[in-house]
């Protein structure tokens, strides 16, 4: 071993910490320390303060798991996940297949479908609420309905379940392009000679998609399904900015994060102990869903 080797190793470690040290420090200060403090705070009564005041053990967890409003918010998540996960998966996969086979302007279509991903959730929610699905006569969809001889619809009034159309279409517009790019990356990894062999055997159309494309996209599909499920659990901006009115949020369509936000920081309660317990419960549920989903898909792959 030459004498310069230890000096080079020390130099590499030095430059590693010069470049990565600030990010590691930021991760510790702004992510892991708050997470650890939130877990600690969940065992205490902490109202209007981030400082623990009285130890309550699992009292905050027991309160949430028997609280009807929290359980209803979990039901809202289930409905939203059932609606948004399969529709986003199917739409993004369909767009990826169409764009991958486009013979011209492929880069344009890829950019056009991906562009909404860069849009702010808050801005998109306001556009959906104030322009497209405005319940007044001049709303875009209501104008189209009046042109067809139909009555205007109060989309966000809560008198019916049509507010799900607003929320699901908003999330679809924002995220379908992102997952389309993931599927495009997966499609590019499929060897072209596989398709050529299938063509020689006479396979075309849906048979190629069913027996070649979809099996080859299994790893990408698992990742997309997992990200979609976690993303459904993290839904906040589109619900909050679409449905909130002056100083209040309606009692319907409250996903878990909106409910915990109102408990922790809104409506004058600021019960941070209960809010922290809720975030721990959500984290455990998301982790359980992710692990269960991965195990189920792995068992199906092994059985295939």
Cross-strand pairs, 47: 271
pLDDT at residue 227 tops 70: yes
Candidate ranges 2-16, 71-85, 201-215; pick with highest mean pLDDT: 71-85
pLDDT at site 171: 92
Pull the structure tokens for residue 116. 């909404």
Give the residue among 285, 225, 222, 233 at the shortest CA–CA distance from 65: 285
Question: Confidence class of residue 211 from pLDDT cuts 50, 70 and 90?
Answer: confident
pLDDT at site 95: 93
pLDDT at site 234: 81
Contacts with 174 (C-beta within 8 Å, 6 or more apart), sequence order:
116, 117, 119, 121, 124, 238
Cβ atoms of 168 and 87 closer than 8 Å: yes
Dist CA 238 CA 222 (whole Å) = 25
Dist CA 228 CA 223 (whole Å) = 9
pLDDT at site 176: 92
Question: Confidence class of residue 151 from pLDDT cuts 50, 70 and 90?
Answer: confident
pLDDT at residue 302 tops 80: no
Q: What percent of the chain has pLDDT over 70?
A: 95
Q: Which residue has the higher pLDDT, 224 or 105?
A: 224
pLDDT at site 300: 67
pLDDT at residue 192 tops 90: no
Q: Each residue of 98-113: pLDDT tens digit? A: 998 888 888 888 889 9
Residues 26-54 have a mean pLDDT of 86
Question: Confidence class of residue 85 from pLDDT cuts 50, 70 and 90?
Answer: very high
Dist CA 226 CA 218 (whole Å) = 12
DSSP state of 249: -
pLDDT at site 102: 83
pLDDT at residue 304 tops 70: no
Q: Each residue of 250-275: pLDDT tens digit? A: 878 888 888 878 877 766 667 888 88
Contacts with 170 (C-beta within 8 Å, 6 or more apart), sequence order:
124, 125, 128, 238, 242
Dist CA 18 CA 178 (whole Å) = 33
pLDDT at residue 90 tops 90: yes
Residue ranges of the alpha helices (H) in the chain? 4-27, 33-41, 59-65, 68-100, 106-114, 121-127, 140-147, 163-188, 192-200, 206-208, 214-216, 218-233, 237-243, 256-265, 272-303
Q: Each residue of 159-185: pLDDT tens digit? A: 888 889 999 999 999 999 999 999 999
In whole angstroms, how large is the CA radius of gyration of the chain? 24
């Amino acid at each position: 071993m030459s004498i310069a080797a230890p000096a080079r190793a020390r130099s590499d470690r030095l430059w590693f910490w010069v470049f990565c040290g600030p990010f590691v420090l930021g991760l510790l200060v702004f992510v892991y320390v708050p997470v650890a403090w939130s877990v600690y705070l969940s065992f205490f009564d902490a109202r209007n303060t981030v400082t623990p005041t009285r130890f309550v053990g699992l009292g905050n967890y027991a309160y949430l798991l028997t609280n009807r409003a929290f359980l209803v918010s979990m039901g809202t998540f289930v409905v939203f996940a059932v609606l948004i996960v399969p529709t986003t998966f199917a739409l993004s996969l369909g767009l990826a297949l169409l764009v991958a086979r486009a013979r011209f302007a492929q880069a344009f279509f890829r950019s056009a479908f991906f562009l909404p991903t860069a849009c702010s959730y808050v801005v998109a929610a306001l556009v959906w609420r104030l322009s497209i699905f405005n319940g007044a006569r001049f709303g875009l969809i209501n104008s189209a309905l009046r042109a067809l001889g139909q009555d205007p619809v109060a989309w966000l009034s809560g008198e019916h379940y049509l507010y799900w159309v607003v929320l699901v279409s908003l999330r679809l517009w924002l995220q379908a392009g992102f997952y389309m790019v993931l599927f495009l990356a997966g499609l590019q990894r499929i060897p072209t000679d596989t398709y050529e062999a299938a063509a020689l055997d006479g396979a075309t159309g849906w048979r190629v998609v069913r027996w070649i494309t979809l099996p080859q996209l299994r790893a990408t599909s698992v990742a997309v399904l997992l990200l979609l499920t976690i993303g459904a659990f993290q839904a906040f901006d589109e619900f909050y900015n679409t449905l909130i009115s002056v100083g209040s949020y309606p009692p319907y369509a409250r996903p878990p994060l909106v409910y915990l936000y109102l408990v922790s920081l809104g409506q004058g309660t600021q019960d941070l102990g209960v809010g922290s317990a809720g975030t721990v419960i959500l984290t455990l549920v998301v982790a359980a869903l992710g692990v269960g989903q991965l195990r189920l898909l792995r068992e199906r792959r092994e059985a295939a």
